[in-house]
Structure formats: structure tokens, C-alpha cells
Amino acid sequence: MTDNPAFDKSRPFPVAAFVTVKEGEEQAFLSLLQEIAAYLAEAAPDKTYVYSWARDTENPRLFTLYEVHANWEAAMWHRQDAALVDFGKRFAPLVESTRQSTGTWVAGSESSRY
């Protein structure tokens, strides 16, 4: 990531995850996502600008999670925060597979809320 000349650690850092949930675990997964969102809204409003998800219309077990962190440091906080690590431990047994993609912020207001 850091070898990308367009990458600037001080700019917003977007992340997308594509998650396939184990059959029958969809509701538990959605409940956990809601808990995570509530935690982030309270604990990290200055670190996480966007935390959203979408459920695939053809495959109800496939979710896309989208996050925009304030910067690289905020993204690293997200990976190391004790409560979020605990959420991750609860997340793992519900998941069949996951794929992650990161990007570079290219447009939009960095200070506005979405």
C-alpha cells in the first residue's frame, strides 16, 4: 500500500470488505454489525467517517462492508482497539469467506459527514 505514489497517510482511508456469511447466521451477523456501528459512533466519531453495509439482492448471505477512516492512523486504531478486536472474534465464527479491498481517497470533502 505505501509503495503507491497516490497513497497519503494523512488523507481519508477507504476500505471495502466482501463477506459471505455462513448459512443461517445472517441475522446474527446483522446484529453484530449494528453493535459495531453503535460502538464506532460513540467511541470513534473522529476516526471513522463512514461505516456502512449492503446486503446482496441475489445472495442474502453476501454483504459488502464499507468504511472510510479519517486517515491511516485511524484505520490502524480500528484494527487494534480492544473492543473491535473482540467484535472480530465474534465475527469470525459467523463468516464463511471474506475478501478485502483498500483504496485511495480521490475526491469529496474530507471534513463533511456522510
Q: Which domains does the chain have, with CATH numbers?
A: 13-102 (3.30.70.100)
Model pLDDT for residues 24-79, shown as the tens digit of each residue: 999 999 999 999 999 999 998 888 888 899 999 999 999 999 999 999 999 999 99
69 and 47 Cβ atoms separated by less than 8 Å: yes
User: pTM for this structure?
Assistant: 0.81
113, pLDDT greater than 60: no
Residue 99's pLDDT band (cuts 50, 70, 90): very high
**Calpha distance 101→98 (Å, rounded):** 10
Model pLDDT for residues 77-95, shown as the tens digit of each residue: 999 999 999 999 999 999 9
Provide the 3-class DSSP secondary structure of residue 106: coil
